[in-house]
Amino acid sequence: MQPTVDYYIIKEYRKPDLGDFTLEEYTEKVIQYGYQMLFSISFPLAPLLFFLSILFDVHVDAKRLLLMYKRPIAFMAQDIGQWLTVLDLINGVAIVTNACMIAFNTEFGRHRPFHEQLIILITIEHGVYIVKFLLSNMIPDVPQDIQLAMRREKYQVATKMKGYSKSLHRFG
């Protein structure tokens, strides 16, 4: 016998709430990102493992959202909030630690005097910061097509509001 629509509605209603799924996911991803950024120079296979872990996690989360929990209610947000600050901090620390590893522990810098190692460290660190700064200023935060869609929507809302106000004056 085929289950009815009511069966699926009741089954969905009985699923547990997801809880604070977004916070848990951001925390998990930021911790993984931190490990990857800080230790990728020591273990060059880390970015590949990080990528495979993220792919696997996406599929597990999709199954969890579809089969085990109620559908979460989406809330609008302007950005990722304080997570951006945390990611910037991780990036800054990773740049310095990776530059230290290159300057002090690789064949490139190991047998040099300490002042030359410091020059190598400062050169690498400043070079990466400059590239990071240039890329962050060249790449827009909001893509052009999204900006266009937002302006179009704002215009459409303003046009409809003018139409409503005219009809209110007619009937008022």
Instruction: Give me the amino acid identity at 13.
Output: Y
pLDDT score recorded for residue 38: 86
Predicted local distance difference test score (pLDDT) of residue 164:
64
Q: What is the pLDDT of residue 169?
A: 61
Average pLDDT for residues 54-67, to the nearest whole number? 90
Q: Is the pLDDT of residue 165 over 70?
A: no
Query: What is each CA distance from 99 to 30, 75, 80, 91, in whole angstroms?
Result: 21, 40, 28, 12
Domain ranges of the chain: 5-141, 142-172
Q: Give Cα separations from 166 to 154, 157, 159, 171, 172 (angstroms).
A: 19, 14, 11, 9, 10
- Residue 125 CA to residue 98 CA, distance in Å, equals 9
Calpha distance 129→68 (Å, rounded): 44
Tokens of 3: 């289950």
Mean pLDDT of all residues in 8-14: 85
| Per-residue model confidence as pLDDT tens digits over 89-120 | 999 999 999 999 999 988 888 889 999 999 99
Q: CB under 8 Å to 60, separation ≥6 — which residues?
A: none
Kindly report the average pLDDT of the chain as a whole number.
87
Q: Look at residue 142 in the predicted model and tell me its pLDDT.
A: 85
Does 156 have pLDDT greater than 70?
yes
**Predicted confidence (pLDDT) per residue in 15-48, tens digit:** 888 878 888 888 999 999 999 998 888 888 888 9
pLDDT of residue 1 exceeding 80, the answer is: no
